[in-house]
Amino acid sequence: MEISALLIAGLVLAVLAIFTVLRAVRIVPQARARNVERLGRYNRTLQPGLNFVIPYIDRVYPAIDLREQVVSFQPQPVITEDNLVVEIDTVLYFQVTDPRAAAYEIASYLQAVEQLTVTTLRNVVGSMDLEKTLTSRDTINSQLRGVLDEATGKWGIRVNRVEIKAIDPPKTIKDAMEKQMRAERDKRAAILSAEGQRQSQILTAEGDKQAAVLRAEGNRTAEILKAEGQARAIDQVFQAVHRNDPDPKLLAYQYLQTLPQLAKGQGNTFFVIPSEVTAALSGISKAFTEALPKSPATRDTTVREGLAEQAADDAARAAEAAAEAVADAAEADSIRPLPSASSSTNNRHDGP
């Protein structure tokens, strides 16, 4: 019996010693910290690694995470300066820098940070209207971070960043904003369409202008070339006439050949026959009845006779045509014989 009691006592002491040793050794993970109280008073903070404490005297509190933490709060209703209620969802990034202050300066630093964020957000957004709130997220974030970092410094907490995830205005405001955006898009589309049409019309007008200029240039060049051609032809005829030295009889003959063409026009209901027509006819008849003087071009007798016969035939035809023209003019009561060649120049057609 005594051996069994001693054995049991030895086992109890061994278990107690093992338990005491285990309580004396504490291992703290990396980026963690644990506060130690000795006899109810803060003693020290255990650092990451192997640490020893006094069993039954030192009390070790749960580990505090020293890494940066992310907390997403529930959307909070906030009233803007223009009395509109918006739902704002925020995200907070913070880190515990002093485990002792985080444990003893505030009861629940996480809840305290959440409430402080809500109140600060309402103060900041309450001084802005809806439009400024929607477009000034960076300003709101920086103001929130400054206020929270200053207030949480004594709690051993550093606020690294505050982000606004979403700002939800009321449904009526969303509908109005959507209509406004649609109107803006339609306006920009109309402006772009008008600009495109304006540019197209400008380009078309420029093209028409250039085409008209080119056509005018082409017409001018054509008219110039045509005039030059006519001038050259007239000059050639003039040179040929003066080179061959025609006599008045030949000119009278040419006049009689041209005279029938004056009556061919549809609008020629009135034309003038000069008084020299009779003289021209007598001169022609006299020219073909008299012997022509010899010239270098008419020395051949055979050729001269053929030319005389052809000239006589042409003169006869010209005389017949002139007689027909005179008869037609007499029927139309439009024949006005002129006393001299000088008076015929004032009429519609001039004689040679």
DSSP 144-203: HHHHHHHHHGGGTEEEEEEEEEEEE--HHHHHHHHHHHHHHHHHHHHHHHHHHHHHHHHH
The per-residue pLDDT string of the chain (352 residues; one tens digit each, 9 = 90 and over) reads 567 877 888 888 888 888 888 889 999 999 999 999 999 899 999 999 999 999 889 999 999 999 999 998 888 899 888 888 899 999 999 999 999 999 999 988 888 988 998 899 999 888 888 888 888 888 888 888 888 888 898 999 999 988 888 888 888 887 887 888 888 888 988 999 899 988 989 999 999 999 999 999 999 999 999 888 888 888 787 777 667 666 666 666 666 666 666 656 565 555 555 555 555 556 555 555 554 444 444 444 454 555 556 666 766 776 676 666 666 655 654 444 434 333 333 333 333 3
What's the predicted TM-score (pTM) here? 0.48
Dist. CA 153–CA 134, nearest whole Å: 29
> What span, in angstroms and rounded, lies between the C-alpha atoms of 336 and 268?
15
Burial tier of 101 (Cβ tally within 10 Å: 0-12, 13-18, 19+): middle
Residue 262 exposed, middle or buried by CB count within 10 Å (0-12, 13-18, 19+): middle
What's at 95, amino acid-wise? Answer: Q
Pairing of strands 58-60, 76-79: unpaired
Q: Report d(CA 163, CA 140) in Å as an integer.
A: 9
